[in-house]
Structure 1
């Protein structure tokens, strides 16, 4: 590593801090962070709406579950949007389905006559369709109207039940219609939700044998569920089709809605393993804060169904903090709540065992945690456990104290959580020195206090060695091996060398043999600043400590020795102050005397004086100047044009360049040709008349 430019040691400590703050992804109940995320993801558009009907329903439904007031302020616009689609004769079953549900969430108060028309439309769709989606939208719309207090009965419920059941497959999945070749897990969820709606809308009891068959289909469907090693379960599509594939979140949400809706309307229990219901809850909570509005809706609504279902209500064990300090004597706190953080029934939580990083049992304590009724938190002092600093896995055992709740709530039995225990690490017997030979004869040794500012001044040549050693011990007196221990030597030319300080069971020690490092040091003699970095996620006093400097005398570099690498240019240096520019103008050229210049100017005026004298000698007069108004005007313009040309010559002499002068002269030339031709034509005609007379 020597000779290369490494990441600064300060950056290494920042990385340790990041690791300290993010030990593992925690499964936590729905919190205020989800509410803030939902309010941001479902922000209204510029016109105050949420987009189409489906997006509007997802927004208001999510806000309703989370107890947010956002949707109430927009209820007027959303209700009008829904009412317009309910009254429109061109609305599809899907539009009516979402419009009715929006009205139900916001309690818009739709006129009974409007709902009568919607009921008739949806029943007609059910009668004529063989599409699972059309069944789903139509039955769901009718059920939502019934839940709002209107009398809705599906007279042919059993035949509709059979029509939907005919689309089921042997593995618990469903087809979208009779023409579909592939079955779908997402379709199974909406099929179960539609069947639950039919049972609720039926005017008589649906055939119990058919209900029993659907229960078996649900068991088969849960046989296809997928899982992670941490006990998280989720559903996904068997075949990936770009037109039908929905993804694990959407697919799992569909199944959860369908299964819980069906379980709510039929008698008896569904034979679903409790750990799979708990695993689905962990899956949706493990998402954290979703990145899209659709995922947020699926997460929140699915968790709402899981918390209020008749199969099993999952209870989530979570730790408010996963970092515990021996210095401040933190208590280990455990929360066991529903997915929305509601108070759980009376529970018994035991600490079973503590596992080290190699899964070795550090301590096994069948100790019951104390319960704080006001904060709904179980807690335990970790000091009596004699746990040292480091990373551990703690196994908890949860059980309900009332036996009658065992078939309602699911706790997962034993739960494993990862924690980090931190503390102040002691630094002892730190020494630095220069030795002369392999035997280790030390020329100079200095003690170091690595927890304070220490400045040493050392000098060495290429035949000597630098030795640094120190010990690290935990609060319980055990040897501590941090994740990162580096010694950095930085030359005055900014060339850096980073060395890993190896550690043994007794101490950390590094020996730098300068004779073997001369090439890696590029034969650069001079001052080297010494810096030691020690850091670990469990070490509360990680440090980046300057140790002082070393004056190193190395031999001259041979001809083919490697050159130091070019140092990186600071990208912000271009914004700094620039060097001052000093400029001296050339000395002016020598000019002729003033008198000579005036004499030359006088000479340039002599031709003009000669011109005026010539006019007088020739006897210039205005006798032939036209007397009529028209010719007189052209003659005047002609003479004015000649004067303008003379003026242009003067301007050319004073300020104009050649190209500008020629441009103006071109315009004046055309003007003079025109007016001059008219003037000369008039004079020629007058002269001809006089000669004729």
Structure 2
């Protein structure tokens, strides 16, 4: 008994499940690299537009996929053509410069010098947010790509205030002064544009204006949306707006603006770390997008979050597979940044592990997880006192050094539901037939629910059936599964299902057949007995046939309920059908065969009379041509006529109309040719004879 318990404990397993209440997010994986190669596929070494080329190159750069040699030649030609064209819009220049920043095309400073005045003129006369965004963004890119070109803005403070005039009291922005609708997506563009103005300013901008922008960012984050699992995201308020964007693109725009602004300003932007971590969870919770634009927004936003000055989110992830406790009895926990990079020096604590349904529930308090340098993971050794069941583990990530170069968002405590599974032992299983009146045992048989044996018992309507067994965990505790059912199935396929209840340490059910005769529709005969025991933490859940019972029930009274009709097998319509036997009607009486043949002979009499008539009248062969060529055409003409007559005979015998007409068409053309030749010859001979 002890050996079996120990064997059951050794195969105890830990299952980490992800649910709505506490989701466990995984950083960027290899699946994203594979998806990027499929979503961003160049045609003949180039992309349809420079915007798509930039999004592809930026995604490859973040994921560490080198595609530059494949597309550099054709794409760089397009970049130089766009930068050198006088008709290129600020948007075209913006994407061309973005591609050039990654590919490092051979763009000369003279080309930049020709673009800068045009972009500054657009900034000076701009009236819409998008004009500011693309022109200032282009100047900021030129600043990073060439140090010999003057891109600084002399009136940066005035430009800053012009863009700031489009802001709203709730932190959102308008696209232009003529557009009354405010947008969260536009707010992200505006914040990033203002970050570019600060970067391009030739003199320091008024700090009070920058402080006002920080307050606007805080107000914008006050309107952030939240899911129950701690995920935060931004969405547009006005769905009917012309520039409406979805949650992914809107959140991505805000993240780009926030991180760009934090990079060019001093001091900190006071935002709760849980919201930054929640934004990371939003992008990671999407999985692998199937759209190229969504894919770019996801990985680019995660890259911005990983390198921002506000706070870098750290993701605590656990394996979603089963970990057997026989393999070192450990649970592996990893903490990474959103792109899968190694986290700084930290400690992972298991603050609390509570068993669901227990009153006190606290099993573990503040246990530090061990760190393994080789796998860069933290391991939890579960105590041997942990039995099967559902638990709620609460983890906390603690940073070691408070003076780290970056600020990290750990998200406080993370709650993870955990199922500890194992083999449940089934003991003392027996099936008994009892007398209804005295309760004495009529017959009793042991059941081996772990084996393959079945039992056979018999009973009548004055007796009872009792089924009992015990379930114990690997540590010897009473186990109560979610599902325990007993099913009796008659040989006519009528089924009856009963719930098996528990009393103390034993599961037991009594079936009083006297009170069940109507439920059983008075159907005597053989019943198959089937037992079902199942639970999420029970590794040896089973649905097992344990035997048969022969029931002798009384005859059904006249008004007794009838068994329900059993549903037809849906696959029966594909089986063989019954053979169809058909008797044709008796044929009508026909004349004798001799009479039919005689009638057939009479049909040839007119033809014979015609031939005899020709002989009587005398056939004239004097005009038959004597020359070889005309004689040949004359013979062919008569043979053609004979062929037509024979075709008529075949049509009457077996040919259909369409086949006859096809052949007749060829014979008609043949007769037309040879008949014309022979008639022409006869006409010519007649003319010569008259002349003579």
TM-score, length-scaled by structure 1: 0.83
Distance in 2 (alpha carbons) for counterparts of 1:245 and 1:587: 81
CA deviations over 1:641-663 (Å, ceiling 9, x no partner): 65345423542454335887699
- Could you say which residue in structure 1 is the equivalent of 2:380? 380
Distance in 2 (alpha carbons) for counterparts of 1:350 and 1:665: 99
Q: Are residue 98 (structure 1) and residue 124 (structure 2) matched?
A: no
Q: Are residue 365 (structure 1) and residue 365 (structure 2) matched?
A: yes
CA deviations over 1:597-640 (Å, ceiling 9, x no partner): 99988777666555544433333333476999999999878855
- Could you say which residue in structure 2 is the equivalent of 1:121? 118
Q: Are residue 67 (structure 1) and residue 86 (structure 2) matched?
A: no
- Could you say which residue in structure 1 is the equivalent of 2:4? none
The answer on whether the counterparts of 1:23 and 1:420 sit within 8 Å (CA) in structure 2 is no
- State which drifts further: 275-284 or 616-625: 616-625
Distance in 2 (alpha carbons) for counterparts of 1:524 and 1:118: 94
Q: Out of 15, 19, 26, which is 2:24 matched to?
A: 26
Q: Are residue 141 (structure 1) and residue 126 (structure 2) matched?
A: no
Matches within 5 A, 1:391-430: 391-405=390-404, 408-430=407-429
Closer, same or farther: CA 658–144 of 1 in aligned 2, 3 Å: closer
Matches within 5 A, 1:215-614: 215-321=214-320, 323-326=322-325, 328=327, 330-358=329-357, 360=359, 361-384=361-384, 386-405=385-404, 408-437=407-436, 440-518=439-517, 521=520, 524-555=523-554, 561-571=561-571, 574=574, 611-614=610-613
- Could you say which residue in structure 1 is the equivalent of 2:49? 52
The answer on whether the counterparts of 2:318 and 2:333 sit within 8 Å (CA) in structure 1 is yes
Matches within 5 A, 1:9-20: none
The answer on whether the counterparts of 1:185 and 1:251 sit within 8 Å (CA) in structure 2 is yes
Distance in 2 (alpha carbons) for counterparts of 1:180 and 1:439: 91
Measured after TM superposition, the shift of residue 493 of structure 1 is 4.3
Measured after TM superposition, the shift of residue 398 of structure 1 is 2.6
CA deviations over 1:122-172 (Å, ceiling 9, x no partner): 222212112111111111111112212343322222221111111112222
CA deviations over 1:424-466 (Å, ceiling 9, x no partner): 1111221223334266444222211212223112333444443
- Could you say which residue in structure 2 is the equivalent of 1:36? 34
CA deviations over 1:102-140 (Å, ceiling 9, x no partner): 121222232333333332332222121121111111111
- Could you say which residue in structure 2 is the equivalent of 1:12? none
- State which drifts further: 441-450 or 79-88: 79-88
Measured after TM superposition, the shift of residue 265 of structure 1 is 0.8
Distance in 1 (alpha carbons) for counterparts of 2:383 and 2:308: 41
Closer, same or farther: CA 577–182 of 1 in aligned 2, 3 Å: same
- State which drifts further: 216-225 or 45-54: 45-54
Q: Are residue 76 (structure 1) and residue 76 (structure 2) matched?
A: no
Measured after TM superposition, the shift of residue 406 of structure 1 is 9.3
- State which drifts further: 387-396 or 515-524: 515-524
Distance in 1 (alpha carbons) for counterparts of 2:295 and 2:661: 76
Distance in 2 (alpha carbons) for counterparts of 1:314 and 1:206: 30
Q: Matched residue of 1:550: which SS? A: strand
Closer, same or farther: CA 512–116 of 1 in aligned 2, 3 Å: farther
Distance in 1 (alpha carbons) for counterparts of 2:667 and 2:331: 100
Q: Matched residue of 1:58: which SS? A: helix
The answer on whether the counterparts of 1:325 and 1:422 sit within 8 Å (CA) in structure 2 is no
The answer on whether the counterparts of 2:423 and 2:473 sit within 8 Å (CA) in structure 1 is yes
Q: Matched residue of 2:469: which SS? A: strand
Closer, same or farther: CA 665–352 of 1 in aligned 2, 3 Å: closer
- Could you say which residue in structure 2 is the equivalent of 1:3? none
Measured after TM superposition, the shift of residue 504 of structure 1 is 4.2
Distance in 1 (alpha carbons) for counterparts of 2:661 and 2:198: 98
Distance in 2 (alpha carbons) for counterparts of 1:606 and 1:381: 116
CA RMSD of aligned residues (A): 4.4
Closer, same or farther: CA 318–636 of 1 in aligned 2, 3 Å: closer
Closer, same or farther: CA 474–75 of 1 in aligned 2, 3 Å: farther
Q: Are residue 210 (structure 1) and residue 199 (structure 2) matched?
A: no
TM-score, length-scaled by structure 2: 0.83
Distance in 1 (alpha carbons) for counterparts of 2:551 and 2:42: 68
- State which drifts further: 599-608 or 154-163: 599-608
The answer on whether the counterparts of 1:522 and 1:564 sit within 8 Å (CA) in structure 2 is no
Closer, same or farther: CA 373–661 of 1 in aligned 2, 3 Å: closer
Closer, same or farther: CA 52–470 of 1 in aligned 2, 3 Å: farther
The answer on whether the counterparts of 1:425 and 1:540 sit within 8 Å (CA) in structure 2 is yes
- State which drifts further: 665-674 or 390-399: 665-674
Q: Matched residue of 2:474: which SS? A: coil
- Could you say which residue in structure 2 is the equivalent of 1:14? none
